[in-house]
Amino acid sequence: MIALALSQAIATAYATIWALYLLVFLAAAGMRNPHARVNKRTTELLSPTLAIIVPAHNMAHVIAQCVDSLLRCHYPQDHVTIYVVADHCTDDTAACAEAAGATVLTRQDGPQGKTYTLAWSIDTLTQRSITPDLYVITDATVQVDPHFLAALAEGWQQGEDIITSCATVSPANRKWYARCLGLMLVHRNLQGWCRERLGLSAWLEGRGMAYSRDYIQRFGWHLALPTGLQSSHPTEDWRHGVRIVEQGYRVAFAPTATVVTPLRNSLVAATQQGARWERGRLINAGTHALRLLYHGLKQRELIKVCAALDAIQPPVALLGALTIVLALSAMWFPSVGWLGLWAFVPFVLTGVYGLIVAARGHREGIHFVTVFWAPIYIVWRCISFVLAWVFLDRLGHLGQLKKPNRRLT
């Protein structure tokens, strides 16, 4: 019984700390005025020039809609060039993109994948002496809000070097797991809003983001490329976001730079993607994030400490699962005394945060009934977590990612 009480106390303390971590940012951001930017760019440009890079592998069925949404943005079209990068395509992606009004770059050599494609694209544009004020990157599957480009440009004008977007799930995808993942995006956007209001660094949203020419000229896409253990997973956004802060930058959050994503259309594809996300998250947490946390504590830089903790914190679904287990254990083993009551604390805190996210999601078009799918969603995400470490390699889903890195061409 002593061992049970001790295990429960440790698990409860862990869950309580992370549940409070989520709520503290909300409280602090709500009580504080937005941080004032002091490094506004001294330029006469009302609208910076934009190079929009859209990596696309066999996206003929959606690329035209993506390009069209970018062209419909409220932004001077003579300041915008859209580059669709047909990466190892075997369909009509290039033809469809060109017909929609984009400039097509064709890539057939080197390793496949978004990270390598972006590195190649930036190098190619540099070799062609194309150096815009702002490099905008979107996924081929998204459609953007008409104010998307203007919101990113405003961040640049305010002195930001990296700006991330606000992703929402497409209302067309009515599947239960898509709506639940939509609440996950609401959670990320809510935390991004908090960090922006507090002057901290937000999480990178790879579906839509922008980088200044100054940053690209200094680092290119080097900080996003795999290194060491991280060569085995595709979640470059986790890694890139941590390494950006390590180099003294921050990721600004633009709440009005909205991208609409359909997410995955099948449960199998969504599960495979979730497993890759969790694998990448944990590898990044055990490498770059721990290093950033050490340097942040040593240098007493809050922005680095918080960015590291963001990368280390457990996924909300896993946190929710842990709090449920703790609450059930307190009911099953009531003899542990007051420690059993303490086990309900993280459950209540996580539940409160979940309701806040659900309420915000409801305002964004995700019906509140989605909350009732939470138990199934938690089980599903936990399965993804297990798959990431036990079965994924055996099923061969990472076979391509496991190949040795080849020279970029």
pLDDT at residue 399 tops 60: no
Q: What's the pLDDT tens digit per position in 27-42?
A: 999 887 777 665 677 6
- HSE toward the beta carbon, residue 224, CA cutoff 13 A: 22
Which residues have CB under 8 Å from 128's CB, separation 6+?
none
Residue 407 CA to residue 401 CA, distance in Å, equals 15
pLDDT above 70 covers a percentage of the chain that reads 88
Q: Which residues pair with 408 in a beta bridge?
A: none
Question: How big is the chain by its Cα radius of gyration, in Å?
Answer: 22
Task: Report residue 332's pLDDT band, with 50, 70 and 90 as the boundaries.
Answer: confident
**Per-residue pLDDT at 160:** 94
Asked if residue 101 lies in contact with residue 82, where contact means CB atoms within 8 angstroms, the answer is yes
Task: Report residue 135's pLDDT band, with 50, 70 and 90 as the boundaries.
Answer: very high
**Per-residue pLDDT at 402:** 38
Asked if residue 253 lies in contact with residue 202, where contact means CB atoms within 8 angstroms, the answer is yes
Q: Where in 11-113 does DSSP place strands (E)? A: 50-56, 80-87, 103-107
Residue 384 CA to residue 380 CA, distance in Å, equals 6
pLDDT at residue 6 tops 90: no
- HSE toward the beta carbon, residue 371, CA cutoff 13 A: 15
Helices marked H in 50-175 — which ranges? Answer: 63-71, 93-100, 114-127, 148-157
pLDDT at residue 230 tops 80: no
Residue 317 CA to residue 121 CA, distance in Å, equals 35
**Beta pairing class for 50-56 and 80-87:** parallel
State in words which class domain 50-296 has: alpha beta
Closest CA to 156 of 235, 257, 231, 72: 257
Over the chain, what is the mean pLDDT?
Answer: 87
Amino acid at 341: L
pLDDT at residue 291 tops 60: yes
Lowest-pLDDT range of 64-78, 91-105, 362-376:
362-376
Walk across the sheet containing 50-56 and list its strands: 103-107, 80-87, 50-56, 134-138, 208-212, 162-169, 252-261, 143-144
Token pair for 188: 């990320």
Tell me what the mean pLDDT of segment 276-301 comes to: 88
**Per-residue pLDDT at 44:** 60
CA dihedral 375→379→382→387, nearest 10 degrees, is: -160
Q: What's the pLDDT tens digit per position in 335-378?
A: 555 556 788 999 999 999 999 999 999 998 899 899 999 999 99
Q: Is 408 left (phi over 0), alpha (psi -120 to 50) or beta?
A: beta
**Per-residue pLDDT at 408:** 38
pLDDT at residue 286 tops 70: yes
Per-residue DSSP letter, 260: E
